[in-house]
Amino acid sequence: MILLALETSCDETSAAVVRDGQVLANVVSSQIKLHAEYGGVVPELAAREHLKNLLPVAQAALAEAKISPARLDAVAATQGPGLGIALLIGFKAAQAVAFALAKPFIGINHHEAHLYSPWIQYISPSPLQGEGAGVRGLSAVGSTDANISSSKLSGPSPSIPLLSEGRGRPDFAADFVSFQPNISLIVSGGHTMLVLVESELKHRVLGGTIDDAAGECFDKTGKLMGLPYPAGPIIDRLAEQGNPAAFDFPRPLLHDANDDFSFSGLKTSVRYFIRDHPELLDDRQKVADLCASVQAAIVEVLVKKTIRAAKRAGVRCVTASGGVTCNGGLRKALATACGKNGFTLRLADKSLCTDNAAMIGILAERKLRMNQPLTAWDEEIKPGWQLA
Ligand code: KG4
Ligand code: ZN
């Protein structure tokens, strides 16, 4: 099955071509620089950029995969949740393509795609990588780091045959043969969730944030320190040179028995701390200490609550995905905690943690193969679609 997937739920325009569980192309055009000027995502600007970029991005993905539209067997797109006017662009375009080709269409829940993204495995660098695999101004996803496993992942990776056509070896492929029931942490700019995944496509949300998401906490505390948006990756970098025990910030809901999170109190505590010690911001080392201390508070809550949920659920595997899963401190702390507790850890590849169409395409193909219901060519977007 050859499938085209589009993702435009927030500030990344992305298109992927997936064939039989292999990602033939995954092109992402990020708008981060544009929105940075405004300190956050401006929906109207995001929509304008999606309109401008969607066609070149989709064409780049099809060209990279060496697949003509006529050869597509199905089309997918993010249906929700997300910014309404951004979602509309990718979703309606994908429906139009499916209608024109008279092919099945499936709308995907963005969080569900994150949830299964740890089961997309890195294979090898593409032969096209480094030669401008995408098109100018677009970045083709390709960088990676390996999944970490407390005990080695069971069995060898499935061997990926050379494609008779298409771009050669794909960079990523679905690895559902390794699937184990797991507790999954989804951490992004808009959401923080713990989900019990009992079997493939069978999952239940255990808890979520009652106020700010973890990524929001990174971004907002960074803003208080004068860092540009999105501050998460910058805090991550600065934290490497800082002392995580330099300042003591609260670990909200850490000792509550539920699986919920709350980060607005932590943000407020950082706000008052900076108000009372503004001189710290003039000292590079103190800023690094501040970043390390804030990150330590966020990471401790995320990791401890994830491990506790995994123990309670009786699963042997932990997974994590979403933009904040790029965070070096979080990746290390999860690896350490899982190692100590004998859990296998599967982290989404860093290049698939932030928004991308590859995860939409892999999940869509899986759903089609498992005979899940199609989405009508004229169904509407669901901006508030929550994972159940
Ligand atoms: O999943 P994502 O790309 O978009 C949403 O659906 O929100 O996540 C973006 C969030 C931002 O808040 C950003 O600051 C955060 O992920 N983020 C990080 C890192 N990389 C991205 N936070 C901490 N450390 C990072 N390395
Ligand atoms: Zn996302």
Q: Rounded to 5 degrees, what are φ and ψ at 22?
A: -110, 140
Q: pLDDT-derived band of residue 127, with 50, 70 and 90 as boundaries?
A: low
Q: Evaluate: CB of 109 within 6 angstroms of ligand 1.
A: no
CB 108 within 8 A of CB 137: no
Measured from the Cα of 328, ligand 1's closest atom is 26
Q: pLDDT-derived band of residue 126, with 50, 70 and 90 as boundaries?
A: low
Q: Evaluate: CB of 215 within 6 angstroms of ligand 1.
A: yes
Ligand 2 geometric centre to CA of 277 (Å): 35
Q: Evaluate: CB of 21 within 6 angstroms of ligand 1.
A: no
The pTM assigned to this predicted structure is 0.89
Q: Please list the residues that pair with 74 across neighbouring strands.
A: 3
Q: How far apart are CA 107 and CA 379, in angstroms?
A: 9
- Nearest residue by C-alpha to atom 8 in ligand 1: 323
Radius of gyration in angstroms for the set of CA atoms belonging to the chain, rounded to a whole number: 20
Q: How far apart are CA 161 and CA 163, in angstroms?
A: 6
Q: Does the pLDDT of residue 32 top 90, yes or no? A: no
Q: Rounded to 5 degrees, what are φ and ψ at 37?
A: -60, -30
Is the Cα dihedral 89, 8, 190, 382 positive or negative? Answer: positive
Q: Does the pLDDT of residue 131 top 70, yes or no? A: no
Please name the residue that has the structure tokens 């595997």. Answer: 317
Q: How far apart are CA 54 and CA 36, in angstroms?
A: 21
Per-residue pLDDT tens for 265-319? 999 999 999 999 999 999 999 999 999 999 999 999 999 999 999 999 999 999 9
